[in-house]
Amino acid sequence: MTKRFEGQLALVTGASRGIGAATAKALAAEGAHVILTARTAGALEQVEEAIHATGGTATIAPLDLIETDSIARLASAVAERWGTLDILVLNAATLGSLSAVQAIDPKEFAKVMTLNVSAQQALIAAFDSALRKSARARVVGVTSKVGRQPRAFWGAYGASKAAFETLIQAYGEEVEGISNIRVALLDPGATRTAMRERAYPGEDPASVKPPELVADKIVELVASDVASGHVERMG
C-alpha cells in the first residue's frame, strides 16, 4: 500500500519527546523522511532509532532554536542536501512560569517570547524558499486555546501563543494564492506531555490523551486540503 508522504521531507521541531516525537514517528510511518530537531541529542537519537526500527528514515539535527544563527545554519544544510521541504511542524515551545501578570519575570518572559514567537518567525523565514519549491507544502503550528481565551496566571504563555497564531495565520494568507503552501493550526487540548505535567503536577497522566492521538491528527491535517488559516481544536 502506498504511503501518503512517500518521497517527502518533513521537519519537526521539539521532536525529542511528547507531541513532537510522536508526530515524527507518525510522519515517518507514512513514508516521509523526517528531520528531528530539539536541544537534546540523546533523546533525538532514541526517536531516530525508533523510526528506523519500524522501517522509516530520519535525520537528527540537535540545536537550540534561540541560539544565534542556529536556524539559518539548519536551513542552509537542508537546502544543500535536499533542496525542498514538504512538511514543517512547528511544535517546539516553552511554558515558562505560571504567574500573575504583575509578577512575570522579565528575563523569563523574554525567553518565552523568543522561543515561542521570534524563533517561529525565523523558522518560517528560513524555510519559506524550500517550502515554495514543494509541489504540496504543509505547515502545521501547534498552539493552545489560552492564546485566544486568556486565563489567570497563564498570561506569558498565552501572550506568546496569541502572537504565534497571528504570525502563522498571516503567513498562510500571504502564501495561499501564490504558492502550494497551506498553513493550519492545531490546538491539541489536554495531552500527556512534560509541559502538561509541569502545569498540572497533581493530575493523573492517564486521565488525558496520549501524544500519539495528536500526532494522528497532525498527519490528517498534513494529508488534507484544508485552506490556509484552518484552526482545529481537539477535545
Residue pLDDT, tens place only, 152-196: 999 999 999 999 999 999 999 999 999 999 999 999 999 999 999
**pLDDT of amino acid 18:** 97
How confident is residue 68, by pLDDT bands cut at 50, 70 and 90? confident
**pLDDT of amino acid 2:** 85
pLDDT above 80 for 209? yes
**pLDDT of amino acid 1:** 74
Residue pLDDT, tens place only, 101-142: 999 999 999 999 999 999 999 999 999 999 999 999 999 999
Residue pLDDT, tens place only, 74-103: 999 999 999 999 999 999 999 999 999 999
Q: Which residues are catalytic?
A: 157
pLDDT above 90 for 44? yes
CA atoms of 176 and 227, how far apart (whole Å): 8
For 64, residues 6+ apart whose C-beta sits below 8 A from its C-beta are 39, 70
pLDDT above 90 for 235? no
Q: Mean pLDDT in the chain?
A: 96
**pLDDT of amino acid 140:** 98
Type of residue numbered 137: A
User: What is the rounded average pLDDT of the residues 224-235?
Assistant: 91
Name the one residue in this structure whose C-alpha cell is 503567513.
Answer: 171
Structural domains of the chain in order of their starting residue, each with its CATH number: 9-233 (3.40.50.720)
